[in-house]
A = this chain, B = another copy of it.
Amino acid sequence: MALQGTVIRTIFQTAASFGAAFDTLCQLSGIRPEEISNSENMVEWEKAALIWVPLFKLSEDPLIGLHVGMGTDKLLHGMIGFLIQSCKDIDQCIRMLCRYGSMASPMVEYRYTVNEVATLEIAQHQMWLMKYPEPARHANDFLLAAVMNTCSALSGKRIVPLRIELAYKMRNISEYRKFFGCEVFFNKEANRIILSKEAIATPLLTSDQSMFELFNSIMADKQALLASNSTAENLKQVLFMQFKGRIPTIEEAAAALNMTVRHLQRRLLEEQTSFRNIAGIIRKEIAIQLMQNPSIKLSEISDILGYSDLTAFRKAFKSWTNATPKALRRTRV
């Protein structure tokens, strides 16, 4: 899992105005400038997640994510960036973000629903939230602010949401209100931008139908290409991306892959693996990731992975790693 490199470049460049030199940030984040100069290049998710640590240290700004997002008027670059700026209105922009956003940042899922109001939910992967809670918060603030800024920049009008809902604790609410221009609620169940139907109907100044169709076609082809992996790889993707407190059942996974359970089992058998095998791999990966945050207790990791019994988790862990959790934590320090 990774993040489009140029998003990081944008963040670092914008942060220069907060007293943080571009080169210093690269160095402190372990990122070479060439890694983030090309919109096709992806940066490993942990490197991307942790850029906020030096950013915070250097700026001493508890709202560094929000402030950097304020200064970002182009969230994504390259092909997807061109696609978005060619959309006809804000609504289509957000739909394209939802459809292709995961190609640029697979650790974030964008969900969009339109009823009386339009709701865009930004869902970071739970593993990221658990392992690096504070950097995840800055990243989310950044995304929200950058999304709104980008919408305003492309439409030539200040787009004001109906309200913002944030899943974390309040922190200097007046800064949020000032930037978004609407009420902001903390401690909500998810991170959401709620927009009016008028707002999402706002046309873009940069709209270009033929360019839109061109870029959309290219993106769709690219997405299809990425998807033509082995069944095992696709299954891993599904299990990992749709992980929310428990591994999906084989029925759910088969449905997500548009095949029957028995067919999925046959395909996996052809590839010398099984659903149970893949599910174990995903659990192991998430467990080991979370164990690298020493403040996360073993019982929490067990709960997160869907085990209702700690002894069962211990046994499973031993079977994956041939080591006990404590022993593995010792070796990884």
Contacts and interface: CB of A to CB of B under 8 A. Distances in A.
A156 to B, nearest CB: 43
A308 B308 CA distance: 14
A308 B297 CA distance: 11
Contacts of A255: none
A299 interface: yes
A310 interface: yes
A326 to B, nearest CB: 15
A207 B299 CA distance: 58
**Interface residues on chain A, size class:** under 10
Contacts of A299: 308-309
A71 B182 CA distance: 48
A187 to B, nearest CB: 13
A310 B308 CA distance: 12
A299 B309 CA distance: 9
A299 B310 CA distance: 11
Contacts of A309: 299
Nearest to A297: B308
A194 B205 CA distance: 52
A315 to B, nearest CB: 15
Interface in A38-74: none
Contacts of A308: 299
A309 B309 CA distance: 11
Interface string A282-311: 000000000000000001000000001110
A309 B299 CA distance: 9
A311 to B, nearest CB: 9
A314 to B, nearest CB: 12
A298 to B, nearest CB: 11
A249 to B, nearest CB: 22
Contacts of A310: 310
A310 to B, nearest CB: 7
A324 B75 CA distance: 59
A308 B310 CA distance: 12
A299 B308 CA distance: 9
A310 B309 CA distance: 10
Nearest to A309: B299
A310 B303 CA distance: 14
A310 B313 CA distance: 14
A308 B299 CA distance: 9
A242 to B, nearest CB: 27
A309 B297 CA distance: 12
A189 to B, nearest CB: 13
A66 to B, nearest CB: 30
Interface string A194-234: 00000000000000000000000000000000000000000
A109 to B, nearest CB: 27
3 contacts: A299-B308, A299-B309, A310-B310
Closest 3 CB pairs of A and B: A310-B310, A299-B308, A299-B309
